[in-house]
Chains A and B, each alone.
Chain A
Amino acid sequence: EIVLTQSPGTLSLSPGERATLSCRTTQSVESRFLTWYQHKPGQAPRLIIYSASSRATGIPDRFSGSLSGTDFTLTISRLEPEDFAVYYCQQYIPSFSGSFSGYTFGQGTKLEVK
């Protein structure tokens, strides 16, 4: 079973600071299968990064993503007030020999104002 583990669970920072959110998967993965979402209360999740490092339409360049082995990182270079939210990583799991194929989410990182 592939598990995505996000860390930290909560990250307390101030506007203007740099945020680094981590997501570790249990086996190596193609970058095109990795995604980050931003989720605010009462709203739909918002696609931030796809294919590990590509910004979605309309996402400012202070957001960046990277992949190194099984470690997937979302970096927000300089936090704006609207960036405080919960962030989820997501991985697509392709099918091998009839085994499970689908998606899994990390448990989320809450980015809160310090």
Chain B
Amino acid sequence: QVQLQESGPGLVKPSGTLSLSCAVSGASIGSDDYYSWVRQPPGKGLEWIGQIYQSGSTRYCPSLQSRVAISIDKSKNQLSLQLTSVTAADTAVYYCARHSGFSFPTWGQGTLVTVSS
């Protein structure tokens, strides 16, 4: 059974960089899989941030594209998210998810990141 677990700082200062990791267990991240990051600001809906394929190929949400980077570390079997120049609007629960076809059957539990000084 594939499991995902997000980790990273729960507090980031404005204008700083948000950095999260997603550890994958029960599957090799180098296999034929896509992974995504999704976030949910407090009181709002889900927002897709971007995706990465095992080859390292990425696609990002247009509204975040200039600030976001998703990467894969096959040696650690994890993926990472970096979001630069953060503001309070980036405060959210951040999830990583594994694709199957065009849906996301497997999600991490999510991690809350607050942007505040």
Contact = CB atoms under 8 A, between A and B. Distances in A.
A47 B2 CA distance: 15
Interface string B78-117: 0000000000000000010100111111011110000000
A45 B107 contact: yes
Interface string B48-82: 10110000000111100000000000000000000
Nearest to A35: B103
A105 B107 contact: no
A44 B45 contact: no
Interface in B15-70: 36, 38, 45-48, 50-51, 59-62
Contact of A102 (B48, B109, B110): B48
Contacts of B60: 102
A72 interface: no
Contact of A35 (B59, B61, B104): B104
Given A32-B101, A44-B108, A51-B101, A103 B45 contact: no
A35 B102 contact: yes
Interface residues of A, number: 27
Contacts, number: 64
Interface residues of B, number: 24
A64 B47 CA distance: 24
Contact of B95 (A44, A50, A107): A44
A107 B45 CA distance: 5
B102 A88 contact: no
A15 interface: no
A74 B71 CA distance: 34
